[in-house]
Amino acid sequence: MSDPRGFKGWLLDLYLNQEEGLSLWFISAEDDSRVCFKQHFPVTFYVSGPHEILRALWKMLSGRPGVLSLSRQQKQDVFEAEPVDVMAIEMASPAEQVRLFREIEEIYPDLVYYGADLAISTRYMARYGVFPLALCELEVNENGQIENIRAVNSRWDVLPELPPLRVLEIGPNCDPFREKATTLLLRCDRFEQSLPIDPQGDYLRTLDEILEDYNPDILVSSWGDAWLIPFLLRQAEEKSIPLQLNRDTDRTVRWQKETTYFSYGHIIYRPEEAHLFGRCHIDRKSAMMWSDYSLAGTLEMARVTTLPIEKAARVSPGQGISAMQVITALEQDVLVPYQKRQFEEFKSGLELIQSDRGGMVYQPLTGLHTDVAQIDFISMYPAIIILGNISPEVPLPDGLTPAHENLGVVPLTLKPLYEKRVAIKLKIRSYPENHPLVKNLKERAAALKWLLVVCFGFLGYKNARYGRIEAHEAVTKGGREVLLRAKEVAEEEGFEVLHMYVDALWVKKKGCSKPEHFSQLIQKINHRTGLTINLDGIYRWVAFLPSRVDPRVPVANRYFGVFQSGEIKVRGLEARRRDTPLWIAAVQKEMIRLLSLARSKDELQGCIQNTFAYYQEALELLKSGQVQPEQLVINGKVSYALEAYKASTASVRAAYQLQNAGMTVKPGMRVRFVYTRGEPDVLAWDLGKKIASTAINSSKYVELLIKAASAVLPPFGISEDLLREWSLSGGIQLHLAGQVHS
Amino acid sequence: MIVGQLTNVLLPFETPLPPKRFLAIGAHALSERMLQLVSALALRQSMTVLDCGNRSNMYAVARLIRPYTADPVSVMRNIRLSRAFTCYQVLAMIQATARHPMSGPLVLLDLLATFLDEDVKLKDSQRLLAHSLDLLTQLSHQVPVVISTRPIPSIAENRNILLEELKACADVCWEEPLPLPNTQKVQLELF
């Protein structure tokens, strides 16, 4: 037998292989080729329970094909004080492990299982330290089997050496759910091409050739999951034209079932997903955070979480954090529970009231304020978790002081992530804004930010393997403590605190309008809290808005303002909502932009006049039917099965239209519609019917426009009642004057 | 507030509650009434609440007891509670409760909520519920066990059997009457 040969390359894809264990695809670092190797990968899972049942299980499994070994071990369960007795079951391959686990769980459902349902990528990372796009050195035998593998770079590298990825973008020329697509548009670093969808299927032949010649690593599609790939496969079959989407030619496309789930207070629908073997398919429309961090962020997410690229693009950051925590646990030789059974510790009614609280909110002083600084703690909750060593298995801190010196699973997971994000942010600051790396770094920082954002919520999530409600409460308690300390410092320094919201403070002081005026305050807060606070910016002006229902009541986190840099910040307004029609959101944004042109109080009066004139024009356009219907589409949602609705909302009426037209409507799905005159009063946009501007119910949109404008204008002296009266009658003279708290 | 009377008004169960299994079924798992019941019981004695559907609003309880006591802190301390967010946790919580002798009534809020989770196979839900009900039966020999639940929603119709099993286990079962169908209000003739 010949000696194993060496190979160096980046790991692109890894998946189960029924015969040999695993298939791994690499991009060669030597000749740019794409190579697949196999690897045997025995895996172990653990079972605990009454000894007589474990004995019966041991008898059942002894000598069984696929079981490599059975042993009795002691392992640490994070929720138990002492190590637990477990039976370790070593299986020859991951596929056999999955089969056996299903079988014994059926027979012994009351046993406690550990490490039984782990993703293969997670196991692989924990054993070899190898992750998606890791540069690896391998030893491969003559049968193409990996004998040794190690990563030569780390998940935490700020500027890692990355492979020369071939990315092919592909999509139809229009929204295929509204219009018939006539052309496929293809684009990559080498060419751009339009393929007319012809009845003979020549476009399929050309596409197949492109896939073979260009041989992309990543297919970035539009509507790939829900339309493009099913369409291409159907057409190829009907026309008997070969089309090889996978790089692994032995495989067909793998379909992940559609799903509806509950996340952060929202019902989310995810359509069926098309997964490829040997190359990755990312559908922009299904990629959860594509608009936030694009491809660079998705690849960063895959690298740090070790989730396969296709999965990292589609799942929530919570799943990424979960995978990272599992790796930490495996690296620490801590058991990974299959079903978490840990419930909340018993407490009294009084203790529940004292502990079950959220972040600190200090209601804003409503109205318009000038020269206000916003200071934010950098990743406050993750920093508290790390500083306070908050983890389910370690004693909880007293305020911010850790009760245990060895970091638990959760802070151990977060620390390198937090440090990497800070390092990337520092790197961004070290480059000029137009540096070619800046965009890439910003997208990667955004991906890491999302992972850090969800880590706190995940501590309290019912299915989080390393979640514990008391730990979740300890974080918010720490947050409240930190914010109160910051407020104390600000007031000692003579600042007025206008608003506080979880991890941010809005402060002002007469004569303070430059960054250096806030340096001492920031320094003192950093010292008093042990966390890092940062000057987000100084507003030329900021308007804190009251409740719509009762103008005497302020609303936290509903404000807009303009920084000295000219950057506009908006929170809690229509322009930020996903269901607001594009045109209404654009009008509101433009109104704020026109107001933001005022550089001083003196210039404000003129800007208010211009803003109101703009509103007047917008209103006229709307009333005269000159706004295109596609700009008025409302992005509604159905959260339940349609028959469960007792009241028929506009979204539900539109959803029924889709259902009656034979389309599938699932809970969590977005339902786009426009308001129309007469009956029916809504039209589902995805029915694909043409609609004339005159059929649009403009009075509904006038209401929406008034609502949007009345969020912006009241701080400048124009009340909602006045605006409504004027908008609906169009005749009264308004006195346009702002009231500014200087 | 006279506890016996209140219990009787809130839920038509005999008072004082004897050591039995009481089941109350209604919209929102009768949250409001159950919290009133918890308040009434806590005013008199120590008691245990197992919250299986995130319904233990202790602020509401604190408000309810305030007019009836000069020492609300002690009354709130009479309530010993825990929350579970999956049916695996519900069983573990009941197991933990059953390991120690009980001294006062046991109230379970929205017992079936987590058993309706579609990520848990019906077979597993049934198995876990059966274990839970066995333990609750044992506990009901020591103390009254009051369970609330809500009717099975239409989207989980296939899990109706869980409610049937729960009903079969109860000594006393009360269902909130369904609201009367809407009747058209007719304007009386004025002239």
- Asked if residue A114 belongs to a domain, the reply is no
* Cis before B72? omega within 30: no
- Asked if residue A37 belongs to a domain, the reply is no
- The verdict on A297 and A186 lying in the same domain is yes
- Asked if residue A287 belongs to a domain, the reply is yes
- Probe site for chain B from A108, A339, A346, A356 (most B CB atoms < 10 A): A346
Cβ–Cβ < 8 Å for B81, B145: no
Q: Is B47 exposed, middle or buried (0-12, 13-18, 19+ CB in 10 A)?
A: buried
Q: Which of the four pLDDT bands, split at 50, 70 and 90, describes residue B4? A: very low
**Per-residue pLDDT for A736 more than 60?**
no
ipTM exceeding cut-off 0.95 for this assembly: no
Nearest to A462 among B82, B86, B92 (CB): B86
Residue-wise pLDDT for A8-44, tens only, equals 999 999 999 877 789 999 999 999 899 999 999 999 9
- The verdict on A289 and A429 lying in the same domain is no
- Beta-bridged to residue A677, according to DSSP, are none
Residue-wise pLDDT for A595-650, tens only, equals 999 887 778 888 999 999 999 999 999 999 999 999 999 999 998 888 878 888 99
Query: How far B79 CA sits from the closest chain A CA (Å)?
Result: 5
Measured CB to CB, residues of chain A less than 8 Å from chain B are 109-110, 339-350, 352-353, 356, 462-463, 469, 640-641, 643-644, 667
Residue A27 gets which letter from DSSP? E
Q: Is A738 left (phi over 0), alpha (psi -120 to 50) or beta?
A: beta
Q: What share of chain A is helix, strand, coil (3-state, %, to 5)?
A: 40, 25, 35
Query: How far B20 CA sits from the closest chain A CA (Å)?
Result: 23
Nearest to A341 among B73, B89, B154 (CB): B89
**Per-residue pLDDT for A420 more than 90?**
yes
Query: Backbone phi, then psi, for A255, in 5-degree steps?
Result: -105, 125
Query: How far B47 CA sits from the closest chain A CA (Å)?
Result: 10
- The verdict on A309 and A390 lying in the same domain is no
Contact with chain A for residue B41, Cβ under 8 A: no
Residues of A in contact with B80 (CB under 8 A): 346-348
What mean pLDDT comes out for the span A262-288?
83
Q: Is A667 left (phi over 0), alpha (psi -120 to 50) or beta?
A: beta
**Per-residue pLDDT for A1 more than 70?**
no
The helices-and-strands tally (H runs, E runs) of chain B is 7, 6
Distance between CA A298 and CA A181 in Å, rounded?
28
- Asked if residue B191 belongs to a domain, the reply is no
- Asked if residue A542 belongs to a domain, the reply is yes
- Asked if residue B167 belongs to a domain, the reply is yes
Residue-wise pLDDT for A576-600, tens only, equals 998 999 999 999 999 999 999 988 7
Residues of B in contact with A338 (CB under 8 A): none
Walk across the sheet containing B21-25 and list its strands.
A347-348, B79-83, B47-51, B106-109, B145-149, B21-25, B172-175
Distance between CA A113 and CA A101 in Å, rounded?
9
- The verdict on A500 and A394 lying in the same domain is yes
- Asked if residue B107 belongs to a domain, the reply is yes
Q: What is the DSSP string of A35-91?
A: EEEEE---EEEEEES-HHHHHHHHHHHTT-TTEEEEEEEEEB-TTSSS-EEEEEEEE
What mean pLDDT comes out for the span A712-730?
85
- Asked if residue B187 belongs to a domain, the reply is no
| A236: nearest Cα among A270, A261, A200 | A200
Residues of A in contact with B56 (CB under 8 A): 352
- Asked if residue B78 belongs to a domain, the reply is yes
- The verdict on A365 and A279 lying in the same domain is no
- Beta-bridged to residue A136, according to DSSP, are A9, A151
**Per-residue pLDDT for B174 more than 60?**
yes
Residue-wise pLDDT for A41-92, tens only, equals 999 999 999 999 999 999 999 999 999 999 999 999 988 889 999 999 999 9
What mean pLDDT comes out for the span A520-525?
97
Distance between CA A478 and CA A488 in Å, rounded?
15
A647: domain CATH number is 3.40.1820.20
Range with the lowest mean pLDDT among A57-71, A266-280, A616-630, B5-19?
B5-19
pLDDT exceeding 90 applies to what percent of chain A? 76
Strand ranges in A574-616 using DSSP code E only, listed in sequence order: none
- The verdict on A567 and A668 lying in the same domain is no
Q: Which of the four pLDDT bands, split at 50, 70 and 90, describes residue A264? A: low
How many domains is chain A built from? Answer: 3
Residues of B in contact with A355 (CB under 8 A): none
CB pairs under 8 A between A and B: 76
What mean pLDDT comes out for the span A716-729?
85
Distance between CA A708 and CA A705 in Å, rounded?
5
- Asked if residue A617 belongs to a domain, the reply is no
Q: Which of the four pLDDT bands, split at 50, 70 and 90, describes residue A291? A: confident
**Per-residue pLDDT for A660 more than 90?**
yes
- Asked if residue B184 belongs to a domain, the reply is no
The 3-state DSSP class for residue B124 equals helix
Distance between CA A454 and CA A19 in Å, rounded?
38
Q: Is A389 left (phi over 0), alpha (psi -120 to 50) or beta?
A: left
Q: Specify the pLDDT at position A85.
A: 95
Note which residues in 101-140 of chain B have CB less than 8 A from chain A.
Answer: 124, 127
**Per-residue pLDDT for A445 more than 80?**
yes
CA distances from A557 to A283, A543, A573, A613, A656 (A): 33, 11, 10, 28, 35
Q: Which domain holds residue A716?
A: 622-741
Q: Other CB atoms closer than 10 Å to residue B118's CB: what's the count?
A: 13
The residue to which tokens 């990337």 are assigned: A424
- Asked if residue B188 belongs to a domain, the reply is no
- Asked if residue A516 belongs to a domain, the reply is yes
Residues of A in contact with B85 (CB under 8 A): 343, 462
**Per-residue pLDDT for B53 more than 70?**
yes
- Probe site for chain A from B50, B69, B75, B86 (most A CB atoms < 10 A): B86
Cα Rg, chain A, nearest whole Å: 29
- Asked if residue A554 belongs to a domain, the reply is yes
Nearest to B58 among A109, A349, A643 (CB): A349
- The verdict on A456 and A393 lying in the same domain is yes
- Asked if residue B186 belongs to a domain, the reply is no
Q: Which of the four pLDDT bands, split at 50, 70 and 90, describes residue B1? A: very low
- The verdict on A542 and A658 lying in the same domain is no
Residue of A nearest to B80 (CA): A348
Query: Backbone phi, then psi, for A404, in 5-degree steps?
Result: -150, 140
Residues of B in contact with A641 (CB under 8 A): 154-155
Query: How far A354 CA sits from the closest chain B CA (Å)?
Result: 10
A244: domain CATH number is 3.30.420.10
- The verdict on A175 and A291 lying in the same domain is yes
- The verdict on A314 and A383 lying in the same domain is no
Residue-wise pLDDT for A670-710, tens only, equals 899 999 999 899 999 999 888 888 899 999 999 999 999 99
Range with the lowest mean pLDDT among A107-116, A434-443, B3-12, B20-29?
B3-12
Contact A343 B153 (CB under 8 A): no
Please tell me the number of Cα atoms within 13 Å of A562 on its side-chain side: 19
What mean pLDDT comes out for the span A713-719?
88
AA identity, residue A274: A
The 3-state DSSP class for residue A321 equals helix
**Per-residue pLDDT for A443 more than 80?**
yes
**Per-residue pLDDT for A738 more than 60?**
no
Q: Which domain holds residue B95?
A: 3-175
The residue to which tokens 């970035």 are assigned: A220
Please tell me the number of Cα atoms within 13 Å of A265 on its side-chain side: 1
- The verdict on A532 and A432 lying in the same domain is yes
pLDDT exceeding 70 applies to what percent of chain A? 97
- Asked if residue A161 belongs to a domain, the reply is no
Q: Reduce the secondary structure of A253-311 to three states and give it as a string.
A: CEEECCEEEEECCEEEEECCEEECCCCEEEECCCCCCHHHHHHHHHHHHHHHHCCCHHH
The whole-chain average pLDDT of chain B stands at 89
The 3-state DSSP class for residue A732 equals coil
- Contacts with A168 (C-beta within 8 Å, 6 or more apart), sequence order: A186, A187, A188, A210, A211, A214, A216, A218, A219, A220
Most confident of A48-57, A733-742, B10-19: A48-57
Contact B88 A341 (CB under 8 A): yes
- Contacts with B112 (C-beta within 8 Å, 6 or more apart), sequence order: B52, B129, B149, B150, B152, B162, B163, B166
Distance between CA A192 and CA A183 in Å, rounded?
13
Q: Specify the pLDDT at position A587.
A: 97
Contact with chain A for residue B151, Cβ under 8 A: no
pLDDT exceeding 90 applies to what percent of chain B? 75
How many domains is chain B built from? Answer: 1
Nearest to A640 among B49, B96, B155 (CB): B155
Residue-wise pLDDT for A163-195, tens only, equals 999 999 999 999 898 789 999 999 999 999 999
Residue of A nearest to B42 (CA): A349
B39: domain CATH number is 3.40.50.300
Residue-wise pLDDT for A292-322, tens only, equals 778 999 999 999 999 999 999 988 888 899 9
Q: Other CB atoms closer than 10 Å to residue B131's CB: what's the count?
A: 15
Token pair in block for residue A40: 């045997």
Q: Specify the pLDDT at position A270.
A: 77
- The verdict on A422 and A564 lying in the same domain is yes
* Beta-strand relationship, A183-187 and A167-172: antiparallel
AA identity, residue A617: E
Cβ–Cβ < 8 Å for B78, B65: no
